[in-house]
Amino acid sequence: MLRVSQIKVSIDDSIEVLEDKLVKHLNIKKSDLIEYKIFKQSIDARRRGKLEFVYTVDVALKDEQAILDKKVPNVMVAPNLNYEYPEMGTDKLNGRPVVVGFGPSGMFSALILAEMGYRPVIFERGGNVEERVHSVEAFWKEGILDPNSNVQFGEGGAGTFSDGKLTTRVKDLRGRKVLDAFVEAGAPEDILYTAHPHIGTDLLREVVKNIREKIISLGGEIYFNTRVTDFLIEDGQLKGVKASNGMTVETEHAIVGIGHSARDTFYKLYDRGVHMDAKPFAVGVRVEHPQTLIDKSQYKEFAGHPKLGAAEYRLTHQASNGRGVYTFCMCPGGLVVPSSSEKGRLVTNGMSEHARAE
């Protein structure tokens, strides 16, 4: 299969034009085209009065080598993006692996372990997504905060009640596995190719539930509303994990994906001699714009076009003292919502649904 990039289609044209442009670029007959699928779609709105979708397309042809021999511009062999599981060891595990936290890192660690047959045991201090919906709505409407099940804690982590963006800024081929898992769990298929993929909190609730159910179907166990209270360590080796529901799981392997606010767990890890590195302290300032302002700034006269969603932007600046300043956590077409996890403390976050229509 070949990968063809820089195929441009005007916003006024239908998607069917893409095939015609692809055939023309490759200088082949339509009968030579076996199949194609969009690998990436982005927007070029740099020129006033002209807006185009820019596509990278994977194609299967009857004679792909002939195209490579002609050195057609913007054509390469499509890399293999199939996820390769880590090689399994030969030593017998002493106990099932434990995953602490069921946010993004814990969830996908547990998913990979389950798919490899390791039947992980997962502990999450917050509730499942169904319970979280009720506790979050109680906080937003009545000011009743559950310190363990809220916008930050619970199934799916803070991202479940967030923008649902899938941006890492890390060029790691394994990221495709994450997108494929989301689609398998019910996310829109367009996240596989849009330049800035987005699910939205309304769809994420069902997606994370489906991932949970797959892990359970593969032999995993998930305990919600359950904190890990201690790590049993002997001579520098993990021997077990204790939980607030009274369970003690004998294990020598644990993945701790607890985010940044589970302070009691951090203290316990520190007390047990687990090495930690401090991350740089960053201060963020939330800026709110009318969505129409950003749309007009980015898309000019095309703002509001039915083929375009809510626009976003990214800014970076290098200060004279060497410090980098940048925008992050953009939430187009969303809301600013209270996201506290501790009583008496205020945290806000951006949240948008799939339509980004706020």
* CATH number where 22 lies: 3.30.70.2700
Q: Are residues 211 and 102 in the same domain?
A: yes
List pLDDT tens digits, range 17-40. Answer: 999 999 999 999 999 999 999 999
- Look at residue 88 and tell me if it is in a domain: no
- Residues 59 and 2 sit within 8 Å (Cβ to Cβ): yes
Q: Are residues 156 and 194 in the same domain?
A: yes
Q: H-type helices in the chain, by residue range?
A: 17-26, 64-70, 104-115, 129-142, 175-184, 201-217, 263-271, 291-299
List pLDDT tens digits, range 266-319. Answer: 999 999 999 988 888 888 888 899 999 999 999 999 999 999 989 999 899 999
Total domain count for the chain? 3
Q: What is the pTM of this model?
A: 0.91
Query: Of 222, 241, 271, which residue sits at a domain end?
Result: 271
Q: Are residues 164 and 217 in the same domain?
A: yes
Among 90, 93, 32, residue whose Cα is nearest residue 63: 32
- Look at residue 143 and tell me if it is in a domain: yes
At residue 164 the predicted structure's pLDDT band, cuts being 50, 70 and 90, is low
Among 208, 256, 213, 218, residue whose Cα is nearest residue 109: 256
Q: What is residue 228's three-state secondary structure?
A: strand
Q: Are residues 28 and 172 in the same domain?
A: no
Query: Of 47, 77, 107, which residue sits at a domain end?
Result: 77
Q: Are residues 67 and 132 in the same domain?
A: no
Q: H-type helices in 252-336, by residue range?
A: 263-271, 291-299
Q: Are residues 31 and 131 in the same domain?
A: no
Please give the C-alpha separations between residue 4 and each of 21, 56, 63, 127, in angstroms, as whole numbers.
11, 6, 15, 45
- Look at residue 93 and tell me if it is in a domain: no
Q: Are residues 47 and 169 in the same domain?
A: no
Q: Give residue 350's pLDDT.
A: 87
Domain that holds residue 27: 2-77
- Residues 341 and 353 sit within 8 Å (Cβ to Cβ): no
